[in-house]
Amino acid sequence: MYDIKALYEAGSVQDAVRLRLEHPQAQIIAGGTDVLVQMREGKRAGAELISIFGIDGLRGVSIDGEGNIRIGSLTCFTAITRDPIIQEYINVLGEAVDMVGGPQIRNAGTIGGNTCNGVTSADSASTLFAWDAIVELTGADGVRRVPIQDFYLSAGKVDLRPDEIQTAILIPKESYTGCYGHYIKYAMRHAMDIATTGCSVNVVLSEDKRTIRRARIAYGVAGPIPMRAPAAEAAAAGQPLTGGTVEAFAAAVLEDIHPRDSWRASKDFREHIAVEMAKRCLVESSKLAGGVIA
């Protein structure tokens, strides 16, 4: 069924780095929900694979000594959704990855694989962009941390060096403290479908809940890679929580996004729903933060 030239199993991060150096053409495989499908389709026929599935230290969610949320790269989507740390501090990420595929995919697919694929439609990506996630990479020279905006280079290409594996995704303390968010996925079907467009928004409100101190917004499938909309963020920052601010915020996203025509949706339709999603996400995020739109 699968045309595999060789399978190497890494027992540790250091072992995986060694195997990467010894077999530079080999493909990293974790949950296998993407790689094995591609092999079955003949796209990776005769490939060498390095399995990191057995490195249990890369699983789980924790808070490190600096207060950052640390998500091991082998943590599956189901585990992220159910994790109490995620539910308390960044529940929107759990909601976003709960929209990936079906239960079998979510039980096997990993956050590391979802981001290392570099695709703009990944359900985790827009939320990670909106929460200023940092990607941790480990290679022969040690650990390297890259802001997720810099990790995505182009469609399907990420900043992963030949000797590196992704070991974790970090959400900085300042990014989640007092912050509430909402994600909307628009797809042709309600389940088991790739996003036509995805939008993730989060806000920090003033103590009296009447002013938006900070708003962040990111999209999937609004360009070749996931992207933030800085013009919209600037339009909301420091503004009163009113319907006018919501409208200005949503309208400003068109200054930054670059959707394309495809068989899934036209550029015009993607722009239309991007504006509507921005409105709905900002309103819902503000409600979760305890605010009321004036």
Give CA 11 to chain center in angstroms. Answer: 26
Give the pLDDT band of residue 261 (cuts 50, 70, 90).
confident
Q: Determine the pLDDT at residue 169.
A: 98
Q: Which long-range contacts (CB under 8 A, 24 or more apart) does 190-196 make?
A: 191/102, 192/101, 192/102, 194/121, 194/264, 195/121, 195/123, 195/220, 195/221, 196/221, 196/264, 196/265, 196/270, 196/273
pLDDT at 193 over 70: no
Amino acid letter for position 104: Q
pLDDT at 254 over 90: yes
Quick one: average pLDDT of 113-135?
92
Q: Determine the pLDDT at residue 258.
A: 86
Q: Determine the pLDDT at residue 190.
A: 64
pLDDT at 192 over 70: no
If phi > 0 it is left, if psi is from -120 to 50 it is alpha, else beta; for residue 268 that is: alpha
Quick one: average pLDDT of 177-192?
84
Between these two residues, 108 and 211, which has the higher pLDDT value? 211
**Rounded to 10 degrees, what is the CA torsion of 209, 91, 112, 58?**
110
For 272-289, the pLDDT digits (tens) are 999 999 999 999 999 999
**163 Cβ contact partners less than 8 Å away, ≥ 6 residues apart:** 17, 20, 21, 139, 140, 141
Share the mean pLDDT of the chain: 92
For 47-60, the pLDDT digits (tens) are 889 999 999 999 99
Q: Determine the pLDDT at residue 189.
A: 67
Nearest CA-CA partner of 36 in 21, 47, 52, 23: 47
What is this structure's pTM?
A: 0.92
Between these two residues, 171 and 118, which has the higher pLDDT value? 171
Q: Determine the pLDDT at residue 79.
A: 97
First to last CA, the chain: 59
